[in-house]
Amino acid sequence: MILVWLMVILFAGGVGAWLAESSGSEHPRAVALAALLLDLFLVVLMLVAPDSMGLGAVDTVAQLGQRGDWLVLFQSDWIPRFGVSFIFGVDGLGLMLVALTVFLGLMALGAAWGEIHERSGFFYFNLLWTLAGVIGVFTALDLFLFFFFWEIMLIPMYFIIAIWGHENKEYAAMKFFIFTQVSGLLMLLSILLLVYFHYTSTNVLTFSYFQLLGTQLPASLGYWVMLGFFIAFATKLPAVPVHNWLPDAHSQAPTAGSVILAGVLLKTGAYGLIRFTIPLFPEASAQFAPIAMTLGAISILYTAKVAFGQSDLKRLIAYTSVSHMGFVLLGVYAWNAQALQGAVMTMLAHGFSAAALFMLAGGLQHRIHTRDMDQMGGFWGVAPQMAFMAMFFTVAAVGMPGLGNFVGEFLVLLGSFQVSHTITAFAALGLVVAAVYSLIVIQKVFFGKNQHNHRMADLSGMEFLCFSLMMIGLIWMGMYPQTMLDMAQPTLESLNVAFNP
């Protein structure tokens, strides 16, 4: 039941923030902060005392046929006539992603604290409902319920971009919606086909993830049903060639929207591949694995190359996000212990580093009213704290040893090398390219001369606190990665399906 409360608190907090707008512009953010802190308390409780959460009634667990490594498991009927139930569960992987969602929700709130003043109640309503939808995606174990939350998290993000975005916000919001909605409808069609074939073979109508595992599909059709899931998740990841929506969405979104997009929403695509696509379609996924790994390598190299040609700081960071998430796609479809652990670590570390970089870019834009790097320069002497944070998170994103990103990408390359030497060699070139364009960014923005005589405030206390917390997280992941690896290992072992790419 605690998983339901995580979402109920955010849904209720969003409504409360919207209603509080009439009583003052500061009240909505206070309501949003209270809701996120309450959720953080529940997440910490699950992290430090998972055994106290319980798995629900014994008959429910028996009915699901699963106890295994689930820390929390809850089921209740929803639409029994169509085999749809409320099934929520969280294991080590899911719990880390839920914790990441709540933590970065607080970081997004910190980014919006001094930036969002117009219709702030409705903004925090959309922010909290997006986070609630993401938590639903990470915990739903009924495929109809999963699709329901998949849609819930998209609509409020559309409003965040369309209302509080920048100069081309309507175009970017519509592009984001079309890409994600069309790919989501493909996934819905695949879900319905999977349920139909399960029903024809067992005479049981169900959307339960546990019961749909192992469903036999006609060989010629199974590959196409799997592709419906893959396209939806690869679009959200995103991977080349369905990545085109992301640079526009990031460059036009407000800072808080970029934090949630990069830090959380992209991870739902990776999670979907790990939790649903490969376990539900192991044979079709094994057949498709060489293509997926190739797409991962192309994503790493192509978007890194495109990043070189960007003068818009947020677009450049957006392309680097696609490049780094290419490592996740590569690791998932290598599907061995090292590669999967690396994919999980990359997801978590990228959540911190990308969120921080977008906060820095958004903070610069808010101060000097431009994202054009050609209009910047010499900011090290103007805002030394901001420059230090930019340097730290840039080298973290590049893969500096001792920080979380390095652990993730190293494990991905180690695991994928066991599957394909050639693809891994090309993917490794992305690390070299990333180092070059990252140094160029630091040189253009923070060194050289301040030719345009920009004067701006350094980090506020709120910003410094947010960056410090994310810095501590990346250092912890780099120095003590076993904390996260141990949490993810039981989940990844339980997903050990017959898959041989």
What's the pLDDT at 248? Answer: 92
Q: Are both 333 and 273 inside the same structural domain? A: no
What's the pLDDT at 467? Answer: 94
Closest Cα partner for 346 from 330, 360, 357? 330
Token look-up 């009240």 returns 27
Closest Cα partner for 137 from 279, 276, 335, 322? 276
What's the pLDDT at 216? Answer: 86
Q: Are both 271 and 176 inside the same structural domain? A: yes
Residues 450-470: pLDDT tens digits?
777 777 888 888 999 999 999
Residues 414-462: pLDDT tens digits?
999 999 999 999 999 988 888 888 888 888 888 877 777 777 888 888 9
Q: Are both 249 and 341 inside the same structural domain? A: no
**Per this entry, what is the length of the chain?**
501
What's the pLDDT at 118? Answer: 84
Confidence of residue 496 (pLDDT cuts 50, 70, 90): low
Residue 9 has pLDDT above 80, yes or no: yes
The span from the CA of 183 to the CA of 174, in Å, is 14
Domain boundary among 263, 280, 297: 280
Closest Cα partner for 217 from 120, 309, 284, 286? 284
Q: Are both 139 and 255 inside the same structural domain? A: yes
Domain boundary among 248, 280, 312: 280
Q: Are both 276 and 325 inside the same structural domain? A: no
Cβ 84 vs Cβ 143: under 8 Å = no
Domain boundary among 280, 313, 330: 280
Residues 313-355: pLDDT tens digits?
899 999 999 999 999 999 999 988 899 999 999 999 999 999 9
The span from the CA of 331 to the CA of 297, in Å, is 10
Q: Are both 29 and 75 inside the same structural domain? A: yes
Q: Are both 292 and 245 inside the same structural domain? A: no
Q: What is the mean pLDDT of the chain?
A: 89
The span from the CA of 198 to the CA of 188, in Å, is 15
Residues 366, 304, 248, CA angle at the centre, nearest 5°?
A: 45
Q: 238 vs 51, which has greater pLDDT?
A: 238
The span from the CA of 450 to the CA of 462, in Å, is 26
Long-range contacts of 210-215 (CB under 8 A, 24+ apart): 210/64, 210/65, 210/66, 210/87, 210/141, 211/65, 212/143, 212/280, 213/279, 213/280, 215/280
Domain containing 390 equals: 285-501
Residues 115-157: pLDDT tens digits?
888 888 899 999 999 999 999 999 999 999 999 999 999 999 9
The span from the CA of 469 to the CA of 449, in Å, is 31
DSSP 443-491: HHHHSS--TT--------HHHHHHHHHHHHHHHHHHH-THHHHHHHHHH
Distances in Å between the Cα of 402 and the Cα atoms of 67, 396, 478, 487 are: 36, 9, 5, 20
Q: Are both 428 and 446 inside the same structural domain? A: yes
Cβ 488 vs Cβ 495: under 8 Å = no
Q: Output the six-digit token pair for 314.
A: 């947020």
What's the pLDDT at 459? Answer: 87
The span from the CA of 91 to the CA of 308, in Å, is 40
Q: Are both 247 and 308 inside the same structural domain? A: no
Q: Are both 250 and 378 inside the same structural domain? A: no
**If DSSP codes are grouped into helix, strand and coil, which group holds residue 283?**
helix
Closest Cα partner for 126 from 22, 28, 232? 28
Cβ 354 vs Cβ 253: under 8 Å = no
| Total count of domains within the chain | 2
What's the pLDDT at 291? Answer: 95
Q: Are both 50 and 184 inside the same structural domain? A: yes
Q: Are both 104 and 227 inside the same structural domain? A: yes
What's the pLDDT at 219? Answer: 77
